[in-house]
Amino acid sequence: MSDGPEVKAAAPHIDGLLETSLYVADLDRAAAFYERVLGLGVMLRSPRLVALDAGRQGVLLLFLAGATSADVVEAGGTIPGHEGTGRLHMAFAVQDLDAWRARLAEAGVALTGEMAWPRGGTSLYFSDPDGHVIELATPGLWPNR
Amino acid sequence: MSDGPEVKAAAPHIDGLLETSLYVADLDRAAAFYERVLGLGVMLRSPRLVALDAGRQGVLLLFLAGATSADVVEAGGTIPGHEGTGRLHMAFAVQDLDAWRARLAEAGVALTGEMAWPRGGTSLYFSDPDGHVIELATPGLWPNR
């Protein structure tokens, strides 16, 4: 089914998601939204990128749209270029959905959707300033949490 | 700096990243790549979506490009539509970079970049079948890991 040589051994271990990326029109505006509404802390701020602590080992990368298409070559090596457009989707793991419901209301952030999942767990959805589709989900949605 | 009401209390806790999304031209091809090369297990397979276990609580969502723009209304609620184009970027947390280097070589996957980070940690980069820019990173890159 997949192109490429068959590999017989098990893959080395993966320790979960580390980074997810969104592309934004205004880095300051986007970062301020995630700081103010979700309480995420800024770990790095550069002209092309803001990195936010998404809890545990997770990092939400906000890239300035149009500024990341070229490879970046630095002393330590090469970072391949990337870019994206559209209303992208990512989700944060949370526990207390009522607390988040109150928080979003207080922050003036409208819900764009809500889903009670067949397996368990509930998700709230809202849009960030660039229209990205952000989800907060309680445990039970997926078998690995 | 951020639009919207000021919120005085601390935000409720966020337990890290839950889902990151990529948009792909062929769900079977993309899922097979992540199964074969990275060893990720499929948790859900539908005509518009494959969900892969990315380790710990993490989920890599592969969405069929062009099939997710409309809201989904089901018994449990509403999932807002979303969509994306371009070479998106995400990263997995790993420990043993040499093992991954060998794995990617064995699987016939070429490295597109590599970076030894100032804080510590090293990243390997490669492209998935849709050209998305995938990273494997060892601890030290960010202060929260």
* The pLDDT of residue B2: 56
3-class secondary-structure state, position B106: helix
| Chain B contact present for A45, CB below 8 A | no
- Report d(CA B107, CA A78) in Å as an integer: 22
Domains of chain B: 19-68+87-137 (3.10.180.10)
Return the ∠ at Cα A99 (arms to B142 and A123), rounded to 5°: 75
Interface predicted TM-score of the whole assembly (ipTM), two decimals: 0.96
Mean pLDDT estimate for chain A: 95
Task: Tally C-beta pairs within 8 A across A and B.
Answer: 317
What are the pLDDT digits (tens) for B82-130? 999 999 999 999 999 999 999 999 999 999 999 999 999 999 999 999 9
Check pLDDT > 50 for residue A20.
Answer: yes
Contact criterion met (CB < 8 Å) for A95 and B15 = yes
What are the pLDDT digits (tens) for B5-22? 888 788 999 999 999 999
- Report d(CA B65, CA B69) in Å as an integer: 9
Contact criterion met (CB < 8 Å) for A4 and B109 = yes
Residues A117-137 have a mean pLDDT of 97
| Chain A contact present for B66, CB below 8 A | no
Contact criterion met (CB < 8 Å) for A55 and B125 = no
| Chain B contact present for A115, CB below 8 A | yes
